[in-house]
Structure 1
């Protein structure tokens, strides 16, 4: 069962670590997109959220302060779903479906973050 725990953490955290580095690597494009979506203070929130998901992902990956890492991911995922993936405001059906998929992915990952917090509390 330990192998499942380790593999699960690797698979879960990879998305956040890679995406977090993308916040810095593609900073200008990310800020422009955040501005278009009317996110608050994109010049600050893009690097801040990038740092949050890198730290959260690394925390989960190495099972080091797992609850804090999962909280960071949860605090990124829920607002991001509602701010950046407003599928209900998109007129084009294809684009709306894409945004809905991202919205639901974020909520599912937020749920997984809560499960990690719960599991960590049992240890």
Structure 2
């Protein structure tokens, strides 16, 4: 069972790392999308969220500063769900469905991360 824990951690950590790197490497596109959602300080929000995602992913992968990394990810995911994937404000059914899926994904990831805070044994940590 320890192997499953390690595999899951690696996949989960890499997911957040890749998402964070995408925020930074696709900065202009992410900034435009963030501006369209009327998020204040869009450029800083994109950079900050990218760094939070990278830090959180690394904390899960390494087992270092897990509490801080996970809490930052939870806050980011909930804010992104509410501010960025506000499906209730869309009229177009396809757009509404897509945003609702993204909203629910973010909430589910935040819930999974909160459960990770209960794990006491971060075996295979640095």
TM range, smaller chain: over 0.9
TM-score (norm 1): 0.94
Maintained 8 Å contact 1:66/1:120: no
Maintained 8 Å contact 1:13/1:58: yes
Matches within 5 A, 1:70-109: 70-109=70-109
Larger CA deviation: 8-17 vs 18-27? 8-17
Shift of residue 121, structure 1, vs aligned partner: 8.2
**DSSP 3-state at the match of 1:80:** helix
2:56 matched to which residue of 1? 56
**DSSP 3-state at the match of 1:119:** coil
Shift of residue 119, structure 1, vs aligned partner: 1.4
1:32 matched to which residue of 2? 32
Gaps of 5+ in 1: none
More helix by share: 1
2:5 matched to which residue of 1? 5
Larger CA deviation: 77-86 vs 58-67? 58-67
User: CA–CA distance in 1 between the matches of 2:55 and 2:120?
Assistant: 17
* Matched positions, count: 123
User: CA–CA distance in 1 between the matches of 2:103 and 2:14?
Assistant: 19
Gaps of 5+ in 2: none
TM-score (norm 2): 0.92
Detail structure 1 runs of 4+ shifted over 3 Å in the superposition.
Answer: 120-123
